[in-house]
Amino acid sequence: MFAYTLKRLLQMIPALLGIIVITFILSRVLPGDPAIMLAGEQAPPETVDKIRQDMGLDKSLYLQFFTYFGQLFQGDIGYAYHTGHSVASDLASRFPATLELTLASILIAIVVAIPVGIIAATRKESVIDHISRVFSLIGACVPIFWLGLMFVYIFYSILGWAPAPMGRISGDLNPPTHITGLYVLDSLLTGDTAALKSSLAHLLLPAICLSTGTMAIVARMTRSSMLEVVDQDFVRTARAKGLKESAVIYRHALVNALIPTLTVLGLQFGYLMGGAVITETIFAWPGIGGYVTDSILAADYAPIQAFTLISAILYCGINLAVDLIYGTIDPRIRYE
C-alpha cells in the first residue's frame, strides 16, 4: 500500500509539471496582454511598458518560465493588484469559507443521493424511482447560477425562510471564536448557539444549490451500480440464507456498488470548484470563489491563474485519494 502510494505520487510529478506549464502558457503566451489588461486599454504606452517591466514580461519566455517556476516553489503564486495583498495570503484567509461550503455540499449530496439511489434501485419502477430519475435528469441540466437565484427568490423573497444572501453569518452577530475557520464547527465547539443558528441558516441554501448537480449524478450512479449488483448470486445467497433485507442491501449489495459512486464523487470535486465560484458570487459568500469573480471583474490576472493551478493540483490529489480508498471499501482490490 505504501509502495503503491509512493509510486502514484511519483507518477503525479509529470502531471504537475504539465499543469504548471499549461498555467504558465495561459498567463503569458495567449494573445491577451496582462500589462494592457492591468493598465487599461486607454493607458499610455509608457505606463504599459513600466507594468510589463515590473511583471517581468519584457524578459525571454524561458526566463519568465523559470522565474515563475522558482516563485511557485517558494510559495509565491502572485500578487493581487485589486486587493493589494499576495494571492497566497488572500486565498488562505478565504479558504475556510470555501471549505465549509464545499464540505457541506458534499455531505448533503452523500446523505441525500446515496439513500435515494438505493431506494430507487431496490424499488425499481416505483414512484420514488421515477422521481429520482426525473430529478437526476433535471439536476444535470439546470445551470447552478439560475438555481441559486431561484432559491433566493423562493426561500428569501417569497417565503422568508432563508436569511438574506449576504455572507456566512448575520451582520449583527460576531463570528464564533476562530478554531478551524468553519463557522458551524467553531460555534459548535465554543457552544455559541446564536452563531450556530445563524451560520447554519446562511450555509444551507448555498450548500444545497452547490450540491444539486452532484446529488443528481451520485443518485444516478448509485442507482445504476446497485441495479447491477442486486441481481448477482452473492446477493441471492445472502437472501436465501435468511438475512434481513436491510443487511442484504447495506452489508452485501451497497458495499459492492459503492466503488463507481466513489469515483463519481471524486470527479465531482472539479465541478464543485467551478460551482463554488458561481455559488459564492450569488450568495456573497466570502470564499475563494467570490474572490476569483472579483478578480475577473477587476481584470486581475494572478488570482485566476493561481486558482486554476491550485484547483488542478487538488483535483489530482483528491482523485488519488479516492483510488486509495477503493481498497478500504473493497478488500479484494490489491495495490501493486
Partner 1 sequence: MSTAAQTAQGVPPKPAAPSKPTTLWSLLLHNRLAAVGLAFILLWTVIALIAPWIAPYDPYATDMANKLQPPSAGHWFGTDNFGRDILSRVLYGARISIWTGLIAVAISFFIGVPLGGIAAYYGGRTGTVIMRVMDVLLSFPSLVLSMAIAASIGAGLSSAMIAVGVVGIPEFARLMFGQTVSLREKEYVEASRAIGVKDSVILYRHILPNALAPLLVQATLGMGFAILTASSLSFLGLGVKPPIAEWGAMISEGREYIISGQWWLVTFPGLSIATSILGFNLLGDGFRDVLDPRLRSGK
Short-list 314, 322, 323, CA closest to 99: 314
What are the b/e assignments for 178-203, b being 16+ CB within 10 Å? eeebbbbbbbbeeebeebbebbbebb
Instruction: Please identify which residue in 66, 69, 153, 234 interacts with partner 1, judged by CB under 8 A.
Output: 153
Instruction: Please identify which residue in 230, 277, 283, 290 interacts with partner 1, judged by CB under 8 A.
Output: 277
CB of 277 to partner 1, least distance (A): 7
Binding range to partner 1, per CB under 8 A, among 19-27, 52-60, 201-209, 253-261: 19-27
Nearer to partner 1, 24 or 183 (CB): 24
Nearer to partner 1, 207 or 277 (CB): 277
Compute how many residues bind partner 1; rule: CB under 8 A. Answer: 54
- Residue 282 interacting with partner 1 (CB under 8 A): yes
- Residue 32 interacting with partner 1 (CB under 8 A): yes
CB of 273 to partner 1, least distance (A): 5
What does the DSSP 8-state code read for residue 85? E
299: left (phi over 0), alpha (psi -120 to 50) or beta: left
CB of 264 to partner 1, least distance (A): 14
- Residue 30 interacting with partner 1 (CB under 8 A): yes
User: What is the gyration radius of the CA atoms in the chain, in angstroms?
Assistant: 24
- What the block records as the C-alpha cell of 245 is 433485507
- Residue 198 interacting with partner 1 (CB under 8 A): no
- What the block records as the C-alpha cell of 175 is 463570528
What does the DSSP 8-state code read for residue 336? -
- Residue 293 interacting with partner 1 (CB under 8 A): yes
Short-list 45, 24, 29, 50, CA closest to 305: 24
Short-list 225, 20, 190, 21, CA closest to 114: 225
CB count in 10 Å sphere of residue 113:
29
Nearer to partner 1, 30 or 127 (CB): 30
CA distance 293 to 122: 43
CA distance 250 to 15: 37
- Residue 219 interacting with partner 1 (CB under 8 A): no
- Residue 10 interacting with partner 1 (CB under 8 A): no
Nearer to partner 1, 61 or 140 (CB): 140
Contact 223, 132 (CB under 8 A): yes
- Residue 283 interacting with partner 1 (CB under 8 A): no
CA distance 272 to 30: 27
- Residue 316 interacting with partner 1 (CB under 8 A): yes
CB of 227 to partner 1, least distance (A): 10
- Residue 274 interacting with partner 1 (CB under 8 A): yes
Contact pattern for partner 1 over residues 113 through 152, marking x by CB under 8 A: ------------------------xx-xxxxxxx--xx-x
CB of 182 to partner 1, least distance (A): 22
How far is CA 324 from each of CA 9, 106, 183, 314, rounded to the nearest angstrom? 11, 19, 30, 15
How far is CA 219 from each of CA 98, 197, 224, 318, rounded to the nearest angstrom? 24, 29, 9, 20
- Residue 296 interacting with partner 1 (CB under 8 A): yes
Which residues here bind partner 1, judged by CB under 8 A? 14-15, 18-19, 21-23, 26-27, 30-32, 37, 137-138, 140-146, 149-150, 152-153, 156-158, 164-165, 269-271, 273-275, 277-278, 281-282, 292-293, 296-297, 301, 304-305, 307-308, 311-312, 315-316
